[in-house]
Amino acid sequence: MQKMYKTRLIYTCILIFTMVFSCNQVNEKQLPIYNPVDFEPKLVDKSLRNINKNHTVSDFNLTNQNGDVITSKDYENKIYVVDFFFTSCPSICPIMTNNMLKIQDEFIDNSQVMLLSLSVTPEIDNVEILKTYAEEKGVNDSKWNITTGSKKHIYELARKSYFAVVEQGDGGLQDFIHTPNFILVDTKKQIRGIYDGTDENEIFRIIDDIKVLAN
């Protein structure tokens, strides 16, 4: 009887150890750190394609839906998701905005997580238009900045910092970018994930990955 009790105790201990180990494995999920060399070459400016370490997103200076100047300092030590959109887009942008709202709602009480949307038609999307758009969509101003600014600056960020678009260009009058990508940036300004902002399964994935970074 005593031998049977000891055997059961041993099996119980093994089971508990296995469960704890499995939980730790889940909690220790590691996200990759993306550098220019990790992207398809067509997404990366030629001057950056061979860089294989230490890439961080560049500083930015933009204006949000409230007319406030938003810079990299507002995202210092934050985990954030970036997308590129325009308010009059009839195709992918409404889907992307709805999916950004899901991320906003999931982390509404977590001040470490923020969102950043940059208009690719800044000459059209002025503060007044962005404000109306934000109010109609249910944007939380403390969590999510919807921004406009210099077209050249925004397009350079898309191409040389976030690697969000395939099309090459100079940010000039005829230049136009359109991308469904959501880019996840960590507290060290490193890119940790790229996701299709129109795909619901990808939104589940980015939410899970944000939780990994936030732990």
Question: What is the rounded distance in angstroms from the CA atom of residue 100 to the CA atom of residue 38?
Answer: 25
Residue 6: domain span: 1-30
Q: Are residues 104 and 186 in the same domain?
A: yes
Q: How far is CA 18 from CA 22, 39, 180, in A?
A: 6, 37, 41
Residues 56-101 have pLDDT tens digits of 999 999 999 999 999 999 999 999 999 999 999 999 999 999 999 9
By mean pLDDT, which of 47-56, 69-78, 132-141, 154-163 is the weakest? 47-56
* Residue 49 in tokens: 């394609």
Per-residue pLDDT at 166 exceeds 50: yes
Select from 185, 158, 196 the least CA-distant residue to 33. 185
Query: For the chain, where are the E strands, in sequence order?
Result: 61-63, 69-71, 79-85, 113-119, 144-147, 181-185, 191-196
Per-residue pLDDT at 168 exceeds 70: no
In the prediction, which pLDDT does 100 show? 98
Site of tokens 């939410």 = 207
In the prediction, which pLDDT does 171 show? 46
Q: Are residues 1 and 69 in the same domain?
A: no
CATH number at residue 53: 3.40.30.10
Domain count, the chain: 2
Q: Are residues 66 and 52 in the same domain?
A: yes
In the prediction, which pLDDT does 187 show? 98
The pTM is what? 0.83
